Amino acid sequence: MNSLVKRDAVFLDRDGVINLYVYNAEFGTVDSPSSPDEFTLAPGAGNAIAEFNRLGLLVVVVSNQPGIAKGKFTSALLDRVTTKMHDGVAASGGKLDGVYYCLHHPEAVVPQYRAHCGCRKPHPGLLLQAARELGIQLQTSYMIGDGISDIEAGRAAGTRTIFIGQAKPYILDALEKRGIQPDFMAPTLADAAESIKRQMAAIRNGQMLEEPDGERPNRNSVSDQS
């Protein structure tokens, strides 16, 4: 898309942000859904995306999905999961403007996907591609994710960043070791939507881009409790 007027966007990681992880009781592990039956929208995620739409923001999914490369599922199953995601969001009145997946993995068992690429987060390739194709202004957009690689990708692309989840000390330690930190933190995508709504209202009113106490990363305000 070539346009003189670029739009602001919200880039969303998928697993753990839009949908729930799948828990394997036998092995005590969590993973991405590998079939439509395993895909469940996170509570409030569809409504949050609808709120982004109402705010005039493009909503773009940017997600590492190496399951095909690892031989865990097929491209057809990934397509069906993506369709279920679109349908679930639409049922809440929302719309996804783009979905960008990195299918590569450096240790892939499927040779065509074995690569050290520039699109696998923490690299910013997916965000940069979406910005080119959809006419997105990166500096005034947001990257929202529940992983350190999401924050790194957003920083590398030049967006603001919001970390979804609990601000536990080990997460803050890992961010500090990489020399980065998110601009804001929020427990859920719904909370992130409310935060962005307030920020946009403050900007329209000519106020400083600040958030209420507790929404910026603060080591003194977190605990080890789950």
Residue 2 lies inside a defined structural domain of this protein: no
Residue 226 lies inside a defined structural domain of this protein: no
Catalytic residue among 8, 13, 146, 183, which?
13
Name the residue range of residue 126's domain.
9-221
In angstroms, the Cα distances linking 185 to 9, 43, 77, 84, 164 are 18, 18, 32, 28, 6
Q: What is the CATH number of the domain that holds 179?
A: 3.40.50.1000
Q: Sorting pLDDT into bands at 50, 70 and 90, what band is 24?
A: confident
Q: What number of H helices and E strands is found in the chain?
A: 6, 8
Using alpha carbons, select from 86, 125, 122, 98 the residue that is nearest to residue 7: 98
Is the pLDDT at 141 greater than 50? The verdict is yes
Instruction: Tell me the helix, strand and coil percentages in the chain, rounded to 5.
Output: 35, 20, 45
Residue 141 lies inside a defined structural domain of this protein: yes
Tens-digit pLDDT profile for residues 86-101: 999 999 999 999 999 9
- Residue 119, judged by CB atoms within 10 A of its CB (0-12, 13-18, 19+), counts as buried
- Mark whether 150 is an active-site residue: no
pLDDT of residue 210: 52
In angstroms, the Cα distances linking 181 to 94, 203, 213 are 29, 22, 17
Is the pLDDT at 35 greater than 90? The verdict is yes
Strands (DSSP E) along 47-167, which ranges? 58-64, 98-102, 142-145, 160-164
Among the residue ranges 38-52, 83-97, 172-186, 211-225, the one predicted with the least confidence is: 211-225
Mean pLDDT of the chain: 89
Residue 162: strand, helix, or coil: strand
Residue 3 lies inside a defined structural domain of this protein: no
Percent of the chain at pLDDT above 70? Answer: 88
Q: Locate 50 and state its tokens.
A: 């609808």
Residue 162 lies inside a defined structural domain of this protein: yes
How many structural domains compose the chain? 1
Q: Locate 109 and state its tokens.
A: 């068992």
Q: Locate 60 and state its tokens.
A: 């773009």
Highest mean pLDDT among 21-25, 26-30, 100-104: 100-104
Pick the residue with more confidence: 4 or 31? 31
Residues 104 and 117: beta-carbon distance below 8 Å:
yes
Residue 4 lies inside a defined structural domain of this protein: no
Residue 1 lies inside a defined structural domain of this protein: no
Is the pLDDT at 27 greater than 90? The verdict is no
Burial 175-196 (b: 16+ CB within 10 A, else e): beeeebbbbbbbebbbbbbebb
- Mark whether 213 is an active-site residue: no
Q: Sorting pLDDT into bands at 50, 70 and 90, what band is 152?
A: very high
Percent of the chain at pLDDT above 90? Answer: 76
